[in-house]
Homo-oligomer: A and B are copies of this chain.
Amino acid sequence: MSVTAAKGFTAAGSAVGIKKNGNPDLALVVNRGPSFAAAGVFTSNRVKAAPVKWSQQVLKGGRVRAVVLNSGGANACTGPQGFQDTVATADKVADVLGLDAAHVAVASTGLIGTLLPMDRLLPGIEQAAGELSEHSGEKAAIAIKTTDSVHKTAVHQGAGWTVGGMAKGAGMLAPGLATMLVVLTTDADVDAAGLDAALRDATRQTFDRVDSDGCMSTNDTVLLLASGASRLTPEYGEFASAVRAVCDDLARQLIGDAEGSSKDIRIEVVGAASESDAVEVGRSIARNNLLKCAIHGEDPNWGRVLSAIGTTSADFDPDRLNVAINDVWVCKNGSVGEDRDLVSMTGREVRITADLAAGSESAVIWANDLTAEYVHENSEYSS
């Protein structure tokens, strides 16, 4: 049901000719109110795409009436012309729907460093507006795909209210955020401050802990729009938990569909002196190419886990580190533990547990293995 699961939203997903292959490439999500509260979280990359710069300004007002998203071009590193194109896109949506452009968020995804075909995108907005429907959430999710093999949606039902959403992302996935466009909608009546708190809390523990390939995008955008159409205002904790559940669901779908991957790696760091130590160690393990190759080869090469831990500044004693792979403690006290031949790695999910023996904090990071298919897909992306 995607972004139209919650009441008060319409959506469209149209093929307007931005992608050369004719696949759907333009999505619209429109909030019909009565509330228009919104929150957003954006990439921490200092090189930001034009639509990110625009939408950051829009979200400062805490009010979004429509989101326009295109695949087929990131509109990043496109200079003043690229920014003008984003403004023209928001203006066109505002014009067609009778809104103020200051309430129109824009998101783009695709190749960096090429201008969007505005001669097709602007008429495409008229076409998409004509296709807006309460039943087109799935179509919108399909239209934002790039190298995604499947579209990603999730829904959580509260007591009389709903949180739903869609996501795209299959590569350049790394903390802060993963390369993704995400639009979440709810018919709960929550103000912008409440949405912002719930969204930041959720992304910090979900999208920010997905690290497919260590590469941080220029375009990451996660938006949460509230229509208030349910006329219900849930208790904050309950609402935040629902937002987090939807984000967690979508984040897992991103990892499960990462480019060329054959394994999903769940890295749990336990016994950490602080949560930030746990996250730092988890990311270091997640980014170790040698380990990612070993897991691809179903080789429980735990020495590569230890060498990754050793590059961090976290609190630990190398002689007290313990590591389990799929629950077999192959490393105990920094040295050889249980027999590595006991480890079976045939399933898609591989669990690595790293015990720092330095405290009681923990964190989970999700990553993927490194495969020849990943190399193949990313050797030819722009050519």
Give A contacts to B, CB under 8 Å: 45-48, 74, 76-82, 111-115, 171-172, 213-218, 287-290, 293-294, 296-299, 301-304, 306-312, 316, 318-319, 321, 330-331, 333-336, 370-372, 374-383
Given A289-B215, A289-B289, do A303 and B380 touch, yes or no (CB 8 Å)?
no
Closest B residue, CB atoms, query A291: B215
How near does chain B come to A370, taking the closest CB pair, in angstroms?
6
| Residue contact A218 to B290, C-beta cutoff 8 Å | no
Given A46-B318, A382-B294, do A77 and B303 touch, yes or no (CB 8 Å)?
yes
Given A293-B378, A380-B297, do A45 and B310 touch, yes or no (CB 8 Å)?
yes
- Cross-chain pairs A/B with CB under 8 angstroms, 27 sampled: A46-B310, A46-B312, A46-B318, A47-B307, A47-B334, A74-B303, A77-B335, A79-B319, A79-B336, A80-B335, A113-B336, A215-B288, A215-B289, A217-B307, A218-B306, A218-B307, A289-B289, A289-B378, A290-B381, A293-B377, A293-B378, A296-B379, A297-B383, A299-B381, A301-B382, A372-B376, A374-B375
Q: Which of A115, A217, A321, A334 has the most CB of B within 10 A?
A: A334
Given A76-B303, A378-B293, A383-B299, do A336 and B214 touch, yes or no (CB 8 Å)?
no
Closest B residue, CB atoms, query A383: B299
Residues in B whose Cβ lies below 8 Å from that of A217: 307
How near does chain B come to A193, taking the closest CB pair, in angstroms?
29
Given A79-B333, A333-B79, do A309 and B47 touch, yes or no (CB 8 Å)?
yes
Residues in B whose Cβ lies below 8 Å from that of A316: 46
Interface of A is mostly: loop
Residues in B whose Cβ lies below 8 Å from that of A82: 335
| Residue contact B289 to A336, C-beta cutoff 8 Å | no
A-B residue pairs, 5 tightest by C-beta: A112-B303, A297-B379, A79-B335, A47-B310, A293-B378
Residues in B whose Cβ lies below 8 Å from that of A377: 293
Residues in B whose Cβ lies below 8 Å from that of A319: 79
A381 to B301 CA separation, bound complex (whole angstroms): 9
| Residue contact B299 to A379, C-beta cutoff 8 Å | yes
Residues in B whose Cβ lies below 8 Å from that of A331: 77, 113
How near does chain B come to A362, taking the closest CB pair, in angstroms?
20
Residues in B whose Cβ lies below 8 Å from that of A296: 375, 379
Residues in B whose Cβ lies below 8 Å from that of A47: 306-307, 309-310, 318, 321, 334
Residues in B whose Cβ lies below 8 Å from that of A303: 74, 76-77, 111-113, 218, 382
| Residue contact B307 to A45, C-beta cutoff 8 Å | yes
Residues in B whose Cβ lies below 8 Å from that of A301: 111-113, 381-382
How near does chain B come to A301, taking the closest CB pair, in angstroms?
5
A88 to B85 CA separation, bound complex (whole angstroms): 70
A331 to B78 CA separation, bound complex (whole angstroms): 10
How near does chain B come to A217, taking the closest CB pair, in angstroms?
6
